[in-house]
Structure 1
């Protein structure tokens, strides 16, 4: 096992041992002494191993790590079995020592197990002393800027991006002369350095008076500044100078000069902040700096002022095939490959990454085969030889560097968790983070209340994972790993027994704690060579088979994700309700009803019923003491006893934060109970046409309490969604301030803006949907001073104007309309707008929209269905804007039900009268969702604003 992962595992284990030690009861004589011995020894041994493994690949040490990992897993099994038995008896775990019979046998078993673990740990320590390992000196990690290894003649798909960046590099007529910083950002191996090199060597690049190219890597700021001074023909100082003095010297050298500097592979914002003062920002001098980086935060910082960000795209399928065949010397098979789907297996694995395509092509060539390869065999061979074959070595080093450079063991564990999902599978961000929490990979603390979001942000910032579905407010809904990174993750996870995958053969290893099935049914138990009683996490996509869905075999499950399991039915729920340690439960298949026995799941934190047919929610669900997130569309039974539930809710035991959501009709159950749920943060309500005035009154009271402003300085992310299309009366009339929400979505017949909306403190996101929106309603929106995202969905908008100083904080404005009538804007309105989305299939030209009035605009989003002439007009319009924003095409897709965002692809370069020229390198991979409908998976190019591409709430 990886030493870092072992350290993270041990930290979690020691914390659980502390829980046992803090109890006031002894399970046996000397229990506390044995416990404290384990707690003290484990961290010391792992710390010693971490130090010795730093920068050295030593077989003895790896044996030691694996030994300690096995020991730690056995200790965790022991703890979980204690907790399971205690949960089964509905008594605290320490009560197992106070009764007779079976409980005495349990106590003796625990005594024996703890003594054995103590002895094993002592033996491991003695072996460590017998076989010492000299601590190696620290070795520097290989640089990540591997793109230079791609030969010049092998460049494929670079013409479009190069043409775009050359336009930003050159002096454009009518544009202000000033220093511009161009950031090229993306995953390792996409060709960032090659693209920068082409810019540097271009005719435009050679026209600058002063030029320099430096590779930043792990160099300190002083070294970088010295190297730039040397290249711009200024003799560097003979004595060592600090960064401040070197910055002054370089600034004097570049003053009043038109200069072009390329800084390749910059890895931190601190380094940029140390050297940026060395570059003069003079007016009337069109200087350029190009930086390449894999860090999104670095790109945001470098290009925050008078800058431009270019996000590297994967190669499209045609370019990928061209590069793969070229490197493998199989060009003669290009025609047959074009007509076959076989090669798609390896193309998907390479995922449009030039470095991967080059490495795999050379791997195929090294096989010395003169025949067309069997692509399925090649795909499996690449995984097997990823860390041993010379042709794959450089790519493996890059992937390893991305993994080992993660700053914490928790981040590494979270990345490896992607092995639970198939390659190219779009994973819901919120689903992923809730599973991390349930698994214990991340733990909230006083220093970080949302460690899951922090881990995801870190992985996204490093471009190790990529966003797939982006909602209209530019929040990430789903993500996936790059193809070859996913191969690396699977290989590492399997080799370290972190997960077990089933591929049609026998399921191994036997003692894996996490099990994932991807469209592979196991009907024969003889193929199941794994101890299901030790499995902590089970994920099924497709059909599972009887052997896997025999939940009597499981005991210690914490995560059960069956929302995409096709052969799940009500008969399985009885045994699922005996999984007493489960924290995350997501159901799908043919589930129609939940049994009352669900009350046994005392530690359940997330219950997701969105993929089921459950309409009636058992009241026992509301009484689960640790339930935090509840998803679905349901109501309570008509016969429910309200007083019992109200007593539970009033006692303060309810931890429910997400109720998304419930149906309001003649049944008043959940609307009455919502008033007593004091920890709610996210609520979704559907009002049916059968709703009575009494039930609507109760809903109104519940909403009033939910939005009441307690002026909590923490500004909790409270959100409300109400669909009142079926209501016969205005549900929102009379709601009063002071009130608070971060996000509000209203869908119904909106003739005017409800008064409470303008009274909401710090409202950041607002989505309104109505058949028709009046000018009074739209004008009233201009008074929302804190609003950052506004989405209006309607058949028709009345003509109106946003006045000066309207919506002063708005970053993103989205219209989804049938008729292209958009509000006009006066100068000074929407001063911070960066994203304008005009989603109308019948768009006619610019429809009076003057983008020159938006000084910070970075992108305009249109439907892909608009005609070619309209797209051309918008491309020409943005070229006249000082920021030269991108034009993005939104392709209507069929995203996962829980990921409601659409996907955006870029439209760049010149537009001809008959065809839209999308440059090479734009991804257009097609896949199928669970319904069999085509889904276009395209990346979002050019999110230039820091803080916009955030995690959805």
Structure 2
């Protein structure tokens, strides 16, 4: 069951946590060895039992007893975890096992009282563990029939068998998508003709209930009417393996069941289908493909010279969609319905008049908002409310949709989709990470970086064999994206690695939040409703945050607090939150002051994640920050903190530091040597990200310290202009060279961002690396007032995939372009300038580039010659006066998938580009970016404010774009594209 997920995750981590803790303190283990071993064993058994419980159906007479047992072991696992963390703090200054005898003895005497309390706590926990074990044997074994239970689907699915998406007789808002998919099926290949040696496969991908099956069925039926494909088959792949699917295709093609052997191998079945299809033109639709076995069935579909057959695959998995589509195939990404179409569909299914009256609009608005444009959610909720006139029933459904999904059989088809999406995730801790998204409000963009850092701080992520905790976290995020459970926003790339922000589908969020709140995982407070007992993860949303009064004494077990919007002052009594691990207050900028930060640092000694982003009233990091020895992430971007106390650099657990800092004045000599010596010890500093530091003639210390941070992988530096700049820049150049040369592992991406406030010094970074490209930096951003040539080291970097050059006046000489052309693996290039003159990209130039972004106020000429940019997929020309580049030139870009323009271009320019897009063989998507978002890209050059877009988050990665269909249509539809194009689901309206 889903409610067991978090408990299993916490219980599973307790045993290794105890082991690691006591291995470092063997002197303490001797006192408690038997109790600790017993608790470790019990926690491992609890974790295994809970995981096993999720696959069993419980007898009704034991269900309540089982649920009570789950609550007991949940609290036990949390309390063990809390006990360990509390004691870690109490002896945080304890000597390690190999310390001298005198130091160990002194500490022994000093901590007698603390050790006594810990011993008593461990004994009590053991007793509770024993009691939980006995209760399970006594009361809950009935749930399993003494070991004779069998695995079943999760009870939340109401035992709904997998079935096609619910169809509606009158689909709304799908005309444009239908025409676009028809065009892809009929259309030519990328070179303007269908290659004779390849099969064209089109994959339709999107979240369950978004309308993939219905869209495919409408297209399939239309093609039947047109009699274009003599051989046709429609099969569902859900719950089928490759052999079953191939047999189903044979049956659809008219083969008698008596001729199909159940024991036939894949090879034999493929050969049989090939023979039956012969030289006919065929259309095969494989609906709802959930497992990746395309390689096992692809040989069933013959490639016949001169015959352009099609295979259409629908799936929720992006990897399946991409693998199924051939090199000349397409991946078509479904989009949710726009607001108007959502309301129209809902009204039609609920038998309401459309356009609705004011009363009906008010009545239905909350339910429609929760459905978030997902057709199946709109249809099922509308049918549930059909004929219902009582306003309180509508309000109840809108306010408690998650509960109704679980309990109302009329919503079973939607609930079944949600449950299958959830249970289909590969590992328990990934499900926990997904449940955690209930913290965020509906429609709220979630930044990938902060989410992953929060997962880590919460303890949901641990390193695995040959994979670091960070790699595991990224893999978890990618699986959620791949499953279409969360959808990327503000991206302009088919690669999941480019996803910088995401959202959870509204109906999925309702489902997750209800389950989380029922099992006391995530808690939301509304108005004056008192919190439940033992709140551990608390999220205050805009509207409720300001009015919710919290008595800190009522939440002594609070581990995580996130506030979206204003909060009542009672929240800020931080002296009571002794168990807090995660504190995110980045939207409390009006209330947060220096005194509050001092309270945080003085009391929240277990804190692992602290974000005060945008709290402009905070001006100083207090000396008490040294108490936060477990802190992993400190984010003070947008505050007025400009001096970083050296105590922060000495936080042993700190991994990620965000802000815009200088070191204190006067640090040098003995203090600097002491800090350097501390950093030199490998086990001391874990800093991976420093973004970033200000370096000038009076503050050069960071350049000295940077060389000692051996684990640093991401650095951002602002260089201030001074009269003696050459002196400090030479030291900084040496530090940067050392940072680069430490990057010898190609699997560990490094990022470097340099912002020169003033003219770019010609001697700055004028160094070379070894001729062998064994120094790896994946992302590089250089910003200043001018540039005449690339620093020599740039072309010598191994693994450089992203390069951003931002200057007030950028004149790209042939030397710079030639240097860029020598970077063999460059995938993304961004050029940001106020003026750009006569840019010529010659034949064969930038052969590996996938994305080119040019952000400029004035451009006098841009020429892309035939044969240049052969692999370019995304072209972004963000210039209001785009008069120096003809849209017809995009015809020489054979792999182009999307074009992004400034919304301020003239209507004539828009019309010209629409025509060029329509005539391009790949029909790339045309997007328009609003003026405000383009202007934001020039802020780094105009002010000293730190841009919040990292080198990896350039171009439209952080933009809201409007989708512009080539043809006039009633909806945004799905894009004309042949790869996974991931763009915002709702166009910007202005």
User: TM-score, normalization: structure 1?
Assistant: 0.90
Deviation at 1:189, TM superposition (A): 0.9
Deviation at 1:800, TM superposition (A): 4.8
Q: 1:472 to 1:870 in 2, by over 3 A?
A: farther
Query: Is the CA contact 2:549–2:568 (under 8 Å) kept in the aligned structure 1?
Result: no
Distance 1:11 1:715 in 2: 29
Distance 1:332 1:168 in 2: 33
Kindly indicate whether residue 171 of structure 2 is the aligned counterpart of residue 163 of structure 1: no
Kindly indicate whether residue 452 of structure 2 is the aligned counterpart of residue 433 of structure 1: yes
Query: Is the CA contact 2:11–2:46 (under 8 Å) kept in the aligned structure 1?
Result: no
2:642 is matched with which residue: 597, 606, 615? 615
- Which moves more between the two structures, 443-452 or 882-891? 882-891
- Which moves more between the two structures, 876-885 or 412-421? 876-885
| Residue number in structure 1 paired with 2:270 | 247
Kindly indicate whether residue 432 of structure 2 is the aligned counterpart of residue 413 of structure 1: yes
Kindly indicate whether residue 487 of structure 2 is the aligned counterpart of residue 466 of structure 1: yes
Query: Is the CA contact 1:775–1:797 (under 8 Å) kept in the aligned structure 2?
Result: no
Distance 1:612 1:502 in 2: 28
Deviation at 1:630, TM superposition (A): 0.7
- Which moves more between the two structures, 433-442 or 849-858? 849-858
| Residue number in structure 1 paired with 2:738 | 705
Deviation at 1:160, TM superposition (A): 0.6
Query: Is the CA contact 2:743–2:750 (under 8 Å) kept in the aligned structure 1?
Result: no
SS of the residue 1:564 aligns to:
coil
Query: Is the CA contact 1:333–1:372 (under 8 Å) kept in the aligned structure 2?
Result: no
Q: 1:192 to 1:372 in 2, by over 3 A?
A: same
Q: 1:530 to 1:196 in 2, by over 3 A?
A: farther
Q: Could you report, residue by residue, the CA deviation over 1:725-780 in whole angstroms, capped at 9, with x for unpaired residues?
A: 42473353522223542111111111222322222222111011122223322343
2:304 is matched with which residue: 282, 301, 306? 282
Query: Is the CA contact 1:471–1:902 (under 8 Å) kept in the aligned structure 2?
Result: no
Deviation at 1:405, TM superposition (A): 1.5
Please give the residue correspondences for 1:436-451 in structure 2 after superposition, counting only pairs within 5 Å. 436-449=455-468, 450-451=471-472
- Which moves more between the two structures, 759-768 or 422-431? 759-768
Q: 1:55 to 1:322 in 2, by over 3 A?
A: farther
| Residue number in structure 1 paired with 2:592 | 568
Please give the residue correspondences for 1:93-112 in structure 2 after superposition, counting only pairs within 5 Å. 98-99=109-110, 102-103=113-114, 105-107=116-118, 109-112=120-123
Q: Could you report, residue by residue, the CA deviation over 1:467-502 in whole angstroms, capped at 9, with x for unpaired residues?
A: 122268972221110111111111011011112211
| Residue number in structure 2 paired with 1:935 | none
Distance 1:401 1:839 in 2: 42
2:655 is matched with which residue: 619, 625, 628? 628
Deviation at 1:546, TM superposition (A): 2.7
SS of the residue 2:599 aligns to:
helix
Q: 1:279 to 1:867 in 2, by over 3 A?
A: farther
Q: 1:879 to 1:278 in 2, by over 3 A?
A: farther
| Residue number in structure 2 paired with 1:864 | 903
Q: 1:27 to 1:620 in 2, by over 3 A?
A: closer
Kindly indicate whether residue 193 of structure 2 is the aligned counterpart of residue 175 of structure 1: yes
Kindly indicate whether residue 172 of structure 2 is the aligned counterpart of residue 151 of structure 1: no
Deviation at 1:553, TM superposition (A): 0.4
SS of the residue 1:699 aligns to:
helix
| Residue number in structure 2 paired with 1:747 | 783
Distance 1:691 1:491 in 2: 61
SS of the residue 2:690 aligns to:
strand
Query: Is the CA contact 2:644–2:663 (under 8 Å) kept in the aligned structure 1?
Result: yes
| Residue number in structure 1 paired with 2:761 | 729
| Residue number in structure 1 paired with 2:332 | 310
Deviation at 1:181, TM superposition (A): 1.1
Deviation at 1:98, TM superposition (A): 4.6
SS of the residue 2:502 aligns to:
strand
| Residue number in structure 1 paired with 2:441 | 422
Deviation at 1:309, TM superposition (A): 1.5
Distance 1:920 1:359 in 2: 22
Q: 1:516 to 1:121 in 2, by over 3 A?
A: same
Kindly indicate whether residue 371 of structure 2 is the aligned counterpart of residue 356 of structure 1: no
SS of the residue 2:569 aligns to:
coil
Deviation at 1:418, TM superposition (A): 0.6
Query: Is the CA contact 2:753–2:781 (under 8 Å) kept in the aligned structure 1?
Result: yes
Q: 1:511 to 1:874 in 2, by over 3 A?
A: same
Aligned length: 920
SS of the residue 2:214 aligns to:
helix
Query: Is the CA contact 1:522–1:546 (under 8 Å) kept in the aligned structure 2?
Result: no
SS of the residue 1:438 aligns to:
helix
Q: 1:317 to 1:731 in 2, by over 3 A?
A: farther
Q: 1:444 to 1:891 in 2, by over 3 A?
A: farther
Distance 1:156 1:856 in 2: 32
Query: Is the CA contact 1:45–1:125 (under 8 Å) kept in the aligned structure 2?
Result: no
Q: 1:664 to 1:490 in 2, by over 3 A?
A: same
Kindly indicate whether residue 55 of structure 2 is the aligned counterpart of residue 65 of structure 1: no
Deviation at 1:513, TM superposition (A): 1.3
Indicate the RMSD between aligned Cα atoms, in angstroms. Answer: 3.1
Distance 1:161 1:659 in 2: 45
1:681 is matched with which residue: 708, 713, 724? 713
Q: 1:806 to 1:945 in 2, by over 3 A?
A: farther
Distance 2:923 2:141 in 1: 67
Q: Could you report, residue by residue, the CA deviation over 1:855-883 in whole angstroms, capped at 9, with x for unpaired residues?
A: 32222222333344433333333343333
Deviation at 1:45, TM superposition (A): 4.2
Deviation at 1:658, TM superposition (A): 0.8
| Residue number in structure 1 paired with 2:674 | 644
Q: 1:897 to 1:825 in 2, by over 3 A?
A: closer
- Which moves more between the two structures, 272-281 or 441-450? 441-450
Query: Is the CA contact 1:470–1:476 (under 8 Å) kept in the aligned structure 2?
Result: yes
Please give the residue correspondences for 1:716-795 in structure 2 after superposition, counting only pairs within 5 Å. 716-727=748-759, 729-730=761-762, 732-738=764-770, 739-748=775-784, 749-770=786-807, 771-776=809-814, 777-795=816-834
Query: Is the CA contact 1:215–1:265 (under 8 Å) kept in the aligned structure 2?
Result: yes
Distance 2:624 2:402 in 1: 44
Q: Could you report, residue by residue, the CA deviation over 1:337-364 in whole angstroms, capped at 9, with x for unpaired residues?
A: 69x6775433321111111111222232
| Residue number in structure 1 paired with 2:942 | none
SS of the residue 2:651 aligns to:
coil
Distance 1:564 1:744 in 2: 30
Deviation at 1:592, TM superposition (A): 1.1
SS of the residue 2:712 aligns to:
coil
| Residue number in structure 1 paired with 2:542 | 519
| Residue number in structure 2 paired with 1:37 | 38
Please give the residue correspondences for 1:61-460 in structure 2 after superposition, counting only pairs within 5 Å. 61-87=66-92, 98-99=109-110, 102-103=113-114, 105-107=116-118, 109-127=120-138, 131=142, 133-134=144-145, 135-139=148-152, 148-153=165-170, 155-170=171-186, 175-176=193-194, 179-203=199-223, 206-235=227-256, 237-239=259-261, 240-269=263-292, 271-331=293-353, 334-336=356-358, 343-365=364-386, 368-369=388-389, 376-449=395-468, 450-460=471-481
Distance 1:610 1:41 in 2: 44
Q: Could you report, residue by residue, the CA deviation over 1:168-189 in whole angstroms, capped at 9, with x for unpaired residues?
A: 1225595326532111111111
User: TM-score, normalization: structure 2?
Assistant: 0.87
Q: 1:826 to 1:144 in 2, by over 3 A?
A: farther
Distance 1:845 1:188 in 2: 45
Deviation at 1:208, TM superposition (A): 0.8
Distance 1:414 1:25 in 2: 33
Query: Is the CA contact 2:32–2:119 (under 8 Å) kept in the aligned structure 1?
Result: no
SS of the residue 1:647 aligns to:
helix
Distance 2:365 2:221 in 1: 35
SS of the residue 1:266 aligns to:
coil
Query: Is the CA contact 1:904–1:940 (under 8 Å) kept in the aligned structure 2?
Result: no
Distance 1:247 1:885 in 2: 35
Query: Is the CA contact 2:201–2:330 (under 8 Å) kept in the aligned structure 1?
Result: yes
Deviation at 1:26, TM superposition (A): 5.7
Kindly indicate whether residue 957 of structure 2 is the aligned counterpart of residue 944 of structure 1: no
Query: Is the CA contact 1:26–1:32 (under 8 Å) kept in the aligned structure 2?
Result: no
